[in-house]
Amino acid sequence: MDKYIINGGGRLEGSVRVQTAKNSVLPILAAAVLTDEPVTVLNVPDITDVRNMVKILACLGCKTTYSGNDLVIDSSSANNCEIPRALAHELRSSVFLLGSVISRFRRAKIAYPGGCDIGIRPVDLHLTGLKRLGVNISEKNGYIECQCDKLTGNEIMLDCPSVGATENIMLAAVTAKGTTIIKNAAREPEIEDLQNFLNSLGAKVVGAGTGSVVVEGVEKLGGSVYQPISDRIEAGTFLIAAAMCGGEVELLGVNAENLSSLLHKLRENGCKLRIKNDKIYIRSDRRPVSVKSVETQPYPGFPTDLQAQMTALCTVCCGNSIITENLFETRFKYVPELRRMGADITVVDRSAFVRGVEKLRGATVVAHDLRGGAALVIAALAAEGNSEVLDISHIDRGYAGFEYKLSSLGAKIKRVGI
């Protein structure tokens, strides 16, 4: 078990390249099961979630090899349709394998998936969509068992625009007979990225990024070499860190359009932003101004995965802010930890009422989930004195070399074993 030791209070200066998107790579790796030809995914981030997904692929019989940061998946020898309980509990995104394994083998068995404890994340929408494609589903002893003689395209209306359900249905529908239309589909950039990857295999998918995704089933898919999009959540984390600590930071390899809701808030904070091609430059040279209200919403609204980091920023702003979490009901577990650092936050139901203080102070805090842990790190970077952030294994799930990138910007942070 490792922890971070952070000496805060310094500015951030320099440039950093944004990693490939975790939330694109994981469903793309799941989609590699769809074909018996080799797939190469470029610039795969070295994070725990990817390592766990690779272990699951190996359990299914896939062969995976690294060439530098590129991952080659050969699913031609895949012969197992069961995803082990231990690995499913480690990785929420293991649920994506339901759609791809069913599409390839017409049967699948998976334990209920795990991941960060940020609230109830039912798979009901996933299962309802799969049933509409002709999948018979039984749930017993903590497992979901699926089987079908054939997959048949259908019209599927999602009760809410779930990212996971949209992607899972896309994966199952690519080899279904006929046409599938997913209505009220989620619009996140990672869904469009999955569409583009599937089409590179020979699938026929259109509409991703809008509320209606159309999948025309094909009989067989081929191989591909594919570069996923950059990680907008990692990019947002570094932008918020710069706003909170002060300084000048340039992000490389990022799509600013995918971060428009955050960039709007940072301008409200008083940050100076400059965008050119795939670069975002941010300068923060005074105490940030509070944003009156932030509400998490499905894309293109403010992302729930940046809510904790934004709350951390608001703790040192001039004035008061209200942060409302509309997607996950227990995503304020980091708040007591921020209070240890001197933050003035009151949580009522799904809203955090933040009264800005001039400075946070160093403390020992515990990361309870991935994004909350990242928020504690950037809060510690801005605080006066020394901090320790414990249980950073959560952070390792989504940020590759987090401490090295921050150190390259001048942060005084080091990882030590406990």
CA pair distance 117, 121, nearest whole angstrom: 9
Burial readout 25-44 (b: 16 or more C-beta within 10 A, e: otherwise): bbbbbbbbbbbebbbbbebb
Has 271 been annotated as catalytic?
no
The 3-class secondary structure across the chain, one letter per residue, is CEEEEEEECCCEEEEEECCECHHHHHHHHHHHHHCCCCEEECCCCCCHHHHHHHHHHHHHCCEEEEECCEEEEECCCCCCCEECHHHHHHCHHHHHHHHHHHHHHCEEEEECCCCCCCCCCCCHHHHHHHHHCCCEEEEECCEEEEECCCCECCEEECCCCCHHHHHHHHHHHCCCECEEEEECCCCCHHHHHHHHHHHHCCCEEECECECEEEEECCCCCCCEEECCCECHHHHHHHHHHHHHHCEEEEEECCCHHHHHHHHHHHHHCCCEEEEECCEEEEEECCCCECCCEEEECCCCCECHHHHHHHHHHHCCCECEEEEECCCCCCCCCCHHHHHHCCCEEEEECCEEEEECCCCCECCEEECCCHHHHHHHHHHHHHCEEEEEEECCHHHHCCCCCHHHHHHHCCCEEEEEEC
Catalytic residue among 81, 116, 148, 314: 116
CA pair distance 72, 65, nearest whole angstrom: 5
Compute the 3-state secondary structure of the chain and give helix, strand, coil in percent, each to the nearest 5: 35, 30, 35
Q: Which has the closest alpha carbon to 334: 302, 357, 366, 304?
A: 366
Joined tokens for residue 181? 């239309």
Q: Give the DSSP letter of residue 343.
A: -
Q: What is the CA radius of gyration of the chain?
A: 21
Q: Which residues belong to the active site?
A: 116
